[in-house]
Amino acid sequence: MSDTPDLGPAPQRISVTAEQVRRLVEHQFPHWAGLAVRPVAKGGWDNRTFHLGTDMLVRLPSAAEYALAVEKEHRWLPVLADQLPLPIPVPLAQGRPDPHYPHPWSVYRWLDGVTAAADRIADPVGFAVELADFLAALQRIDPTGGPRPGVHNWFRGGPLRTYDPLARRALNELAGEIDVALAAQIWADALDTGWDGVDRWFHGDVAEGNLLLAGGRLAAVIDFGTCGVGDPACDLAIAWTLVTAAGRAAFRHRLAVDEPTWARGRGWALWKALATCAGSRHDPADADEFAASRRVLATILAEYREHR
């Protein structure tokens, strides 16, 4: 019997309308009643997000699994925000479930910026250094009492082996389409490394959609739903998904990442790219996602070949 935690089936997501949000705000926060409510463009997958007036947003988990992060964010984001070099979301109010919506939900101050993309970053190396500095500051925060890896964050910060069944299934499905032997070697190397056991804070989902730019520079980091304390190697995956080759070297140097931690970070990037590639390759509606995951896999394999 495997001792790997069961990630379970995919969450059953729900839809939320602006009218539902308007009623929730009116009933629970009447001092904000009458403010305009409209969906946020590309408002996220784990949460349904809406503008509230001109300078706030309402964030509603799209499934029960994501609702587990609400209490955590209200408890810890104000603590983290005071110790970080860039803005992060800080909750203004916590909403309750009611007949219009079944989960706890949150109101936040709106943070300006556009989501990160390679063609929007003015200085790729400078961006990588700024991101490394943010993550270093996050890791220095006292982890005492912080949330351990678990269902609330899909076991981010825990053993990479949690994702071994998903990775191996994807490797089997992608046979003949990618260099499966090399990918399997990279995965095995990542699993063979050991974490030093020192708890550190991590974000858990450092990805394009959670990094905001202003004037081409990193301006804020959002969506801490998968944050926690444990092994921060999961936060290194961005080095293969967005950062350039020169930026990747600067990122690693700035964070002073040792070889085992770097290998685990590569493993975090690899399993997600493998699973996404395998899951999206047959559906024309997922063509962009498939192409993006193929690019990430190519980057991971090329970087590994160069440095092994």
Q: What's the CA dihedral at 182, 185, 186, 187 to 10 degrees?
A: 120
Question: Distances in Å between the alpha carbon of 100 and those of 14, 137, 145, 254?
Answer: 12, 40, 34, 47
Dist. CA 272–CA 266, nearest whole Å:
10
CA dihedral 166, 168, 172, 178 (to 10 degrees): 100
Distance from C-alpha of 93 to C-alpha of 58, rounded to nearest angstrom: 10
Amino acid occupying residue 106: S
Instruction: Return per-residue pLDDT of the chain as tens, 308 residues.
Output: 334 455 656 678 899 999 999 999 999 999 999 999 999 987 777 999 999 999 999 999 999 999 999 999 999 999 999 999 999 999 999 999 999 899 999 999 999 999 999 999 999 999 999 999 999 999 999 999 999 999 999 999 999 999 999 999 999 999 999 999 999 999 999 999 999 999 999 999 999 999 999 999 999 999 999 999 999 999 999 999 999 999 999 999 999 999 999 999 999 999 999 999 999 999 999 999 999 999 999 999 999 999 88
Could you list the beta-strand ranges (E) of the chain: 37-39, 47-52, 56-61, 91-95, 105-109, 114-115, 200-202, 211-214, 217-221, 228-230
Please report the domains of the chain, with CATH numbers, ordered by start residue.
18-111 (3.30.200.20), 115-307 (3.90.1200.10)
The model carries a pTM of 0.95
Distance, in Å, from the CA atom of 215 to the CA atom of 253, rounded to the nearest integer, reads 25
